[in-house]
Amino acid sequence: MPAISPSAQPSQPIDVDRLASLVGTGLAEKLEVLDSIDSTNTALIQRAKAGSLPDFTVLTAEEQTAGQGRLARSWQSPKHTSLATSFYLEPEHHDFSWIVLLLAEAAVSAARAHGVPAAIKWPNDVIAVDTAAEAAGTVVKLGGVLAQLLSPTQLVVGIGLNVLATPVLPEPASAPTQPASFADFIQQPDRTEILAALITNFWDNYRGFAQAEQLGSGERWARQKVTATMSTLGQAVTVTPASGQPFRGRATGLGPQAELIVEAADGTHTLTSADITHLRPAGN
């Protein structure tokens, strides 16, 4: 990674007034910024159960003390350094399978617009494209997405992004994964601007997907959006399923519900969930 020290980056509170101006009145009315919380996902789920919420309600926090990831993994974000943001959604067509990846795509687009070479790693990670790290067989992780289903018509999807510092993990990251932040790649990243870009990008994706679904082309629309920013496709990978033995293959595409298609020695595998390790490029 470039030699930019995260420790040299000061903490940076979100400018709420500027954020509201950047996202526009319609989205600002459904947006709340909290000082500290255990989990933005958990808070939105509790609010939804307690009463009605507008579709695309957004909750973000300056500090998250019990963030959640896949497979019950937890993390903490130092105050004023990361983005911990959740969205309450009521998709019209109730096809939730692409929404996690459309949020990841929104984050990647926001990162790229600010000079960070980001990409999606299936199923839910936002990573940095780092040639040196890839040559060493390491994935540089900037953040991740978690979706939690409330009902057949309600979904909460959250994202954590490391902007000025990396999160506090209960245990070291696994060997193929190295946590990093935007500050490892660019000077003085602006949390407010990045959050505004994330929210507006995801709003555009959410509306675009709904409109395409009405025309019967939602899957094609989402696939084009996601595959343009996904680094997993075309990669040699190791697949570690929830049950069964790990195996190797090549990720060749996405299925109709955002499944990862892997061609292996024993045939084609269509994965709805698994840990995926990008293998070191040949010759390294």
pLDDT at position 11 = 76
The bridge status of strand 177-179 relative to strand 139-151 is: parallel
Return phi, psi of residue 122, to 5°: -65, 140
pLDDT in tens, 38-94: 999 999 999 999 988 999 999 999 998 876 655 455 556 678 999 999 999 999 876
The last residue of a domain, from among 227, 245, 266: 227
pTM, whole model, 2 decimals?
A: 0.92
| Per-residue pLDDT at 262 exceeds 60 | yes
* Other CB atoms within 10 A of residue 51 CB: 6
| Per-residue pLDDT at 282 exceeds 60 | no
Predicted confidence band at 177 (pLDDT cuts at 50, 70, 90)?
Answer: confident
Task: Please check whether residues 62 and 161 belong to one and the same domain.
Answer: yes
Q: Tell whether 143 is covered by a domain.
A: yes
pLDDT at position 5 = 42
Predicted confidence band at 135 (pLDDT cuts at 50, 70, 90)?
Answer: low
Element (H, E) at 140: strand 139-151
Task: Please check whether residues 87 and 222 belong to one and the same domain.
Answer: yes
Number of domains in the chain: 2
pLDDT in tens, 203-257: 999 999 999 999 999 999 999 999 999 999 999 999 999 888 999 999 999 999 9
Amino acid at 128: A
Task: Please check whether residues 263 and 219 belong to one and the same domain.
Answer: no
Task: Please check whether residues 23 and 117 belong to one and the same domain.
Answer: yes
Element (H, E) at 113: helix 99-113
Task: Please check whether residues 164 and 65 belong to one and the same domain.
Answer: yes
Quick one: residue 94, left, alpha or beta (phi over 0 = left, psi -120 to 50 = alpha)? left
Q: What is the mean pLDDT of the chain?
A: 89
Q: Tell whether 284 is covered by a domain.
A: no
